[in-house]
């Protein structure tokens, strides 16, 4: 887990659209634009670090902005689901093979392709 003094390279900009630092080109050239703001516990991944933007005060985690954001179970590979769906596998078949519900597969496909799966 990152410590206060560590740089976290995947944090490229503030997730708050109203913040001037939401544009990666406007970030300060020297130093970091965020600081460690603690941790939260997740049933899936134990301790997850939270950060705070030094400009607007928005808080966010390493999961913010990812396609797995807000998902409670994110161990399923999007590429596998997408490839199998495009190859003609049914939602029931994909769900059964992964041991999850059809609704979970439907949500993943919606995030992956940006449209409703049937």
pLDDT of 54-107, one tens digit each?
999 999 887 676 555 555 555 666 778 888 888 999 999 999 988 888 988 888
Percent of the chain with pLDDT over 90: 19
Beta strands 46-53 and 34-42, pairing class: antiparallel
- Provide the domain limits for residue 72: 66-118
58 and 70 co-located in one domain:
no
Q: Residue 40: what pLDDT?
A: 82
Which of 26, 44, 65 is where one domain is finished? 65
Sign of the Cα torsion 44, 47, 53, 59 reads positive
Question: Would you say 38 and 61 are in contact if contact means Cβ atoms under 8 Å apart?
Answer: no
71 and 117 co-located in one domain:
yes
10 and 58 co-located in one domain:
yes
Report the number of distinct structural domains present in the chain.
2
77 and 92 co-located in one domain:
yes
pTM of the model: 0.53
**Is residue 47 predicted with pLDDT exceeding 90?**
no
48 and 10 co-located in one domain:
yes
**Is residue 39 predicted with pLDDT exceeding 70?**
yes
**Is residue 43 predicted with pLDDT exceeding 90?**
no
């Amino acid at each position: 887990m990152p410590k206060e003094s560590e740089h976290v390279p995947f944090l490229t900009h503030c997730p708050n659209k109203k913040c001037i630092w939401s544009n990666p080109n406007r970030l300060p050239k020297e130093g970091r634009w965020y600081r460690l703001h603690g941790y939260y516990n997740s049933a899936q991944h134990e301790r997850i670090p939270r950060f705070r933007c030094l400009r607007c005060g928005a808080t966010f985690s390493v999961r913010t902005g990812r396609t797995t954001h807000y998902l409670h179970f994110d161990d399923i590979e999007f590429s596998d689901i997408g490839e199998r769906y495009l190859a003609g596998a049914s939602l029931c078949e994909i769900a059964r093979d992964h041991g999850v519900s059809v609704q979970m597969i439907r949500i993943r496909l919606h995030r992956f392709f940006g449209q409703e799966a049937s």
